[in-house]
Amino acid sequence: MRPRRALLYMPGNDWRKIEKAAALDVDAICMDLEDGVAPDKKEDARQMAARALAELDFGSSERLVRINPLGTDLAKHDLETILPAQPDGIVVPKAESAEQLLVLSAQIAAQESKEKPIALLAQIESALGLVEIKAIASAADRLQALIFGAEDYAADLGARRTPEADEVFFARSSVVAHAAANDLQAIDMLWTDFKDPDGLAASAAKGAQLGYSGMQIIHPNQIEIVQRAFTPTPEELTAAHRIVDAYEASLAEGKGVFALDGKMIDMPMVKAARRLLSRAQTNKS
C-alpha cells in the first residue's frame, strides 16, 4: 500500500489546478466532484477528471477521485464517467454503512483492470458514520484508508469548530483507532487556513502523535509541512533501530524485558519501533 502522507484536493473542473498538481511531489492527488464543485458544474468536473486520468502524467502521485455521496444520482453519474478512466482510487464522502461500500466494491470489480485494482478510501464525517465505523472499516477488501472529515462532522453535531479541535477529539481518535484495528491507513482532517503554516504544522504534529499516517490538504504550500510531520526524523529512526537491535540481542540471550539507556524496554515499545521503521521504509518506496 503506497504512503499517503499528504492528500491534496483540487476541484475536478479546474484544469489548470489539476495540471499543476500533477507536476508536484505529492503522495496523492484527489480530483473533487463533491463539495469543491458547484451544482451546475458537476458534469464539467466529471468529464475533466476523466480526461485528466487519460491524458496527464501524474508521476508517482496516486490519482484519486472523490465522488458525490453514494445513493444519489450525482454519484451514479460520477461512477459511470470515472470508473472507465481507471483511477487509482475512489474517495467515498459521508460513508455511513458497510452496505454502501460493498455495493460500490462490486460495481468497481465489474469495471476495473485486473492488473491494477481500484482502491476505496472512506470519509467518516457524520455522526452516523462514526456510529457505524466498526462495520465500515471491515466492509470491503479494497478499502485502504479511513479519512476524518472534521468540518462536516462538527456541522452534523452542531459543534463549534475551534483551532484546538477539542470538539472533534473523540471522533478523531476513534477514526485512527478503527483504522489501526483493520490495518488501514488513517488520514487526518484538513487545516483550512492555507495561509497559516504554523497552525498547519501544529495540527499535523498532533495528528501524527495520535497515530495518523497522513493528512488532507487544499494547497500546494501545505505539502512540505505535512510530509515532514508524517515522516520519521533521523533521530527517531536511530532510536528505533537501537531498540530493535537491542531486542534481538536480548532475545538471543533468552531474555524478554531488557534495559536500554537506563530504561526498561518491553514488547509494546519494540512493536512501536518496528512500526516506525516500516513506515519510513514505505515512504521511501
Residue 44 falls in the annotated catalytic set: no
C-alpha R_g of the chain: 20
To which residue does cell 452516523 refer?
Answer: 128
Identify the active-site residue in 25, 166, 245, 266.
Answer: 266
Active site residues: 266
